[in-house]
Amino acid sequence: MMVKARRIFLKGDIMSHVIRKLRLINFYHKVGFCFLILTGVVFQVICLTNLAKAEESVHRYKMVSTVEYAGEGQFRNQAETFYTVKKEPLQNDKLRYSIAADDPNVDAQQKYPSLTFSFVVDQNTQHVSAVGKDMSFWAKVHNESVKSLKKVSRDYVGKTWKQSIDLSSLPDVLPDELRFTLTAIRLRTNTVGEMIAVRAMSEPFFVKIEKGSFRTKINTVYLFDSQIEDIYLNISVFDAATDVRGLNETLHHEVATYKTDSEGVPVDLSDVGQDFEKLVAKVGLRKSGLEIVKESKLPKWAYSKGLRAAQISNICSAAVCEGALNPVTMISMPTAQILEFQRENALRGIPIFQRLVSGFGWNLPTAGFVGAAIAGGIALSDGDGGDASPH
């Protein structure tokens, strides 16, 4: 009887143990199911958050680019367009930049089709990739510029420093090295708050052409937010001169790109202050447009190597201003592309200097090409008249 009772007890104990196990398994299943639901909810929230961030990372800009030549005759072409930049986060710390012409007034995509493109920036190396064939060379120029950078602009606010760009690995471009002097200042505005402005002024450099060379220089200024992550304004001025054909010839390119709202109205930068106005004054914007006395086409040296030098030096000067955090690709890549449309037809427009002074209310002194790096007479007029508003 004792043995039988013990066996019954053991069977009861085993059954109780099995029941407890089944209850525990059932509990885990319920918890697992709830966890799965919770994970799905969290995933949805993350996705919606990322979508919201992507929406917040849409930026709109207006670009005004002017090319002028004086020599055998005169040539002037001014291109204007609005464009949108969308930053999309990818895996492995990468960002896709999608740029599209987006002019509310004209069919800018039809007028400037190459202003619709995209590229990917690796935030670890700051290199640009995944660009089309027509953009691959500009990506190489940017990547070589980034390799050369030794200083980050936001660490040098309130200072002036030197920076060089090594281009020796790129065949048949500019000299093997471009040298810049940079100055960074801190500003405060009512609209944006604290901002950082960086100016880069290159040393004169020479580019070889048939029977000689032309002398050139670029000056650039960028206006960033306090973290150098958003760009509110860029102004760049490129000048080149030569006398290899027995007369003084000059090529001038200036471009201004500024942030706007969805309606194309510029961000209010009227209170950037005198320190910024002085910084811009030395960039070399012309007060008035080139007077066209005898209209001509661009000569071969300006059409090919001159504008190519402007495109390359714009990308290099943008990189040194920023210090390789990479929002400047939103400006320098479209600048390189818009110049492709400015080699042919002579189109007129309001000088950029007048637009900035009138539109933003800045008190800019008359700006010439600082440092007398470029020689050669250029006839100036009182401008083309009309509305000089930046929008």
Q: What is the pLDDT of residues 119-137, one digit of tens each?
A: 888 888 888 886 766 778 8
User: What pLDDT, on a 0 to 100 scale, did the predictor assign at position 171?
Assistant: 75
The residue ranking higher by pLDDT, 77 or 323, is 77
- Which pLDDT tens digit goes with each residue over 218-239? 999 999 998 888 899 999 999 9
Question: Does the structure show a pLDDT above 90 at 73?
Answer: yes
d(CA 389, CA 320): 30
| 59/262 Cα distance (integer angstroms) | 9
What does the pLDDT read at residue 79?
85
- Averaging pLDDT over each range in 55-69, 138-152, 237-251, which range is the top one? 237-251
Confidence (pTM): 0.75
Under 8 Å between Cβ of 256 and 64: yes
Q: How far is CA 77 from CA 48, 105, 251, in A?
A: 45, 19, 12
Instruction: Characterize 262-299 residue by residue with b for buried, 16 or more Cβ atoms within 10 angstroms of its Cβ, and e for exposed.
Output: eebebbebeebbeebbebbbbbbbbbebbebeeeeebb
pLDDT at 381 over 70: no
Average pLDDT, stretch 32-41?
47
Separation of alpha carbons 134 and 86, rounded Å: 20
> Average pLDDT, stretch 311-315?
90
Higher pLDDT, 389 or 71: 71
Q: Any idea what DSSP says for residue 91? A: T
Q: How far apart are CA 139 and CA 130, in angstroms?
A: 9
pLDDT digits 0-9 by tens, 11-32 = 455 555 545 555 545 544 554 5
pLDDT-based confidence at 103, cuts 50/70/90?
A: low
Could you tell me what percent of the chain has a pLDDT over 90? 26
Is the confidence at residue 301, as pLDDT, over 60?
yes
Task: Report the alpha-carbon angle 284-137-206, nearest 5.
Answer: 45
The stretch 275-291 carries a mean pLDDT of 88
Give the Cα-Cα-Cα angle 86, 92, 98 (nearest 5 degrees).
15
Would you place residue 264 in the very low, low, confident or very high pLDDT band (cuts 50, 70, 90)? confident
Q: How many CB atoms sit inside 10 A of residue 237's CB? A: 26
- In eight-state DSSP terms, residue 302 is I
- Residue 374 in 3-state DSSP? coil
pLDDT value for 234? 93
Mean pLDDT of the residues in the chain: 75
pLDDT band at residue 375 using 50, 70 and 90 as cut-offs: very low
H or E, element range at 25: helix 2-56
150 dihedral zone (left: phi>0; alpha: psi -120 to 50; beta): alpha
Q: d(Cα 285, Cα 27) in Å, to the nearest integer? A: 74
Segment 206-213 shows an average pLDDT of 90
Taking the CB of residue 114, how many other CB atoms lie within 10 A of it? 15
d(CA 37, CA 195): 45
Q: Where are the beta strands (DSSP E) in the chain?
A: 58-70, 74-90, 94-101, 117-122, 128-129, 160-166, 177-189, 193-202, 205-209, 212-225, 231-242, 249-260
Residue among 280, 244, 259, 266 at smallest CA distance from 365: 280
Domains of the chain by residue range: 1-56, 66-79+133-372
**Most confident of the ranges 45-59, 262-276, 353-367:** 262-276
